[in-house]
Amino acid sequence: MSMRLRETLDEMKRQFEASTPLEAQTALYGLIRAQQASAKPFGLQVGEKAKDFALTDANGREVSLYEQLSSGPVVLTFYRGGWCPYCSRQLRAYQQVLPRIEALGARLMAVSPQGPDQTLSQAEKDELRFHVLSDRHGLVAASYRILYDVPEDVQAVLQQGFGLDLAEYNATDRWILPVPSTFMIDESGIVRSAYVNPDFMQRFEPDDIISELSKL
């Protein structure tokens, strides 16, 4: 039996903690704790109406959520970008269960703030066969109540420790990210399941996707 995504991410976390300076860990874990303690919860709640949107995929084609819903339920996941190893591992794990998702009559859509060029590179690298969409200015993530501005101490960690200029990477003028989230949306556009976790080292398990879809 293959390793569950959670076990893989836990091992990645152990490697991160073993190789990353304590100062950087303090900033990143501090952000996670601050978001977890937020008085206002992130994300659309179960029973709310999903917000429609139209975004471009890696090949410049426009993809609309509600058009996809006309053919069945949608699994909509928001991730930080191809630069994030936890996101890349998540998307590859979701690709592995894509046949099971489609067998249940559903579609899979992944959204990040990265630009179309970066999206194409990631889709090719990971051989993803679902819609990978570019929300470059974070407007869709904001409508799902998961967008945030990256604090200055975390910006410094990403720039100095990992050589990442997020504004440049996303071809925009802001350092923005979505809280990693996965929503199950039924054909009527209602959110039936919502996984929203400020801890970017944890993601919704692929088997749990199948379980939730089976209830629709």
pLDDT-derived band at 65 (thresholds 50, 70, 90) equals very high
Helix (H) or strand (E) holding 193: strand 191-196
| Check whether domain 5-214 has CATH 3.30.479.10, yes or no | no
- Per the model's pLDDT, the better-predicted residue between 60 and 138 turns out to be 138
The CA angle 140-195-202, to the nearest 5 degrees, is 105
pLDDT-derived band at 141 (thresholds 50, 70, 90) equals very high
Q: What's the whole-model pTM score?
A: 0.93
Cα maximum dimension of the chain: 49
| Domain extents in the chain | 5-214
Distance (Å, whole) CA 212 – CA 216: 7
Helix (H) or strand (E) holding 108: strand 107-112
Give me the chain's average pLDDT, please: 93
Q: Which of 13, 183, 4 is nearest to 93 (CA)?
A: 4
For residue 54, what are the contacts with CB-CB under 8 A and spacing of at least 6?
A: 62, 63, 64, 65
In eight-state DSSP terms, residue 111 is: E
Q: Lay out the sheet containing 74-78: strands in order across.
A: 62-64, 54-57, 131-134, 107-112, 74-78, 181-185, 191-196
Tell me the two tokens of residue 212.
């939730």
Q: Put residue 20 in one of left, alpha, beta given phi > 0 → left and psi -120 to 50 → alpha.
A: beta
Instruction: Say what the pLDDT of residue 1 is.
Output: 34
pLDDT digit string (tens) for 107-128? 999 999 998 777 767 776 778 8
Residue 161 has pLDDT above 90, yes or no: no
Tell me the two tokens of residue 17.
């903690």
